[in-house]
Amino acid sequence: MTALITPELVLLDLKAGDRDEVTRSVAERLASAGRVTDLDGFLGDVRAREAQMPTGLPGGIGIPHARSAHVLTPTLGFARVPDGVDWGAEDGPATLVFLIAAPEGGGRDHLSILAALARRLVHQSFRDELLHAPDEQTVVAIISREVAP
């Protein structure tokens, strides 16, 4: 089974002007890793989902996600954005962004990843660990321990 998240799917200290830049930067990593077959097609699916309802959560979190025909395996990409970007949450910008990519037919995978992530993100300690992780491998270890199905 392919790991949900790997170090090459993690961006630390990303500088980006808006949520589209963040999403594109993480999605490019998914495409480079061979998990997304058509970058622009996948980004279109993410934008369509985001247009239904912004995926910003309280506590500085953005969780863009989509099921897409352009995704080969359930994948989680991550970006830490120290300056934050508006993700539609009432309490302010997102500094931790999780991009969930699921194959078109992978509804349950997508929802189980989203649910597991949401359960952990309510805990300040989990968010703090991710905010202060020194490297990509540490981020992967934290997320794998807490979220991986």
The count of domains in the chain is 1
In a domain, residue 59? The reply is: yes
In a domain, residue 77? The reply is: yes
In a domain, residue 12? The reply is: yes
Show contacts of 125-128: CB within 8 Å, 24+ apart: 127/59, 127/60, 127/61, 127/96
pLDDT of 17-62, one tens digit each? Answer: 999 999 999 999 999 999 999 999 999 999 999 999 889 999 999 9
pLDDT of 88-144, one tens digit each? Answer: 988 899 999 999 999 998 667 777 888 889 889 999 999 999 999 999 999 999 999
Task: Write the CB contacts of 125 (distance below 8 Å, at least 6 apart in sequence).
Answer: none
Q: Which of 74, 70, 79 is nearest to 42 (CA)?
A: 70
pLDDT of 63-76, one tens digit each? Answer: 999 999 999 999 99
Q: Which residues are catalytic?
A: 65
N- to C-terminal Cα separation, the chain: 11
pTM (2 d.p.): 0.94
Which domain does 60 fall in, by range? 7-146
The pLDDT assigned to 148 comes to 66
| CATH code of 82's domain | 3.40.930.10
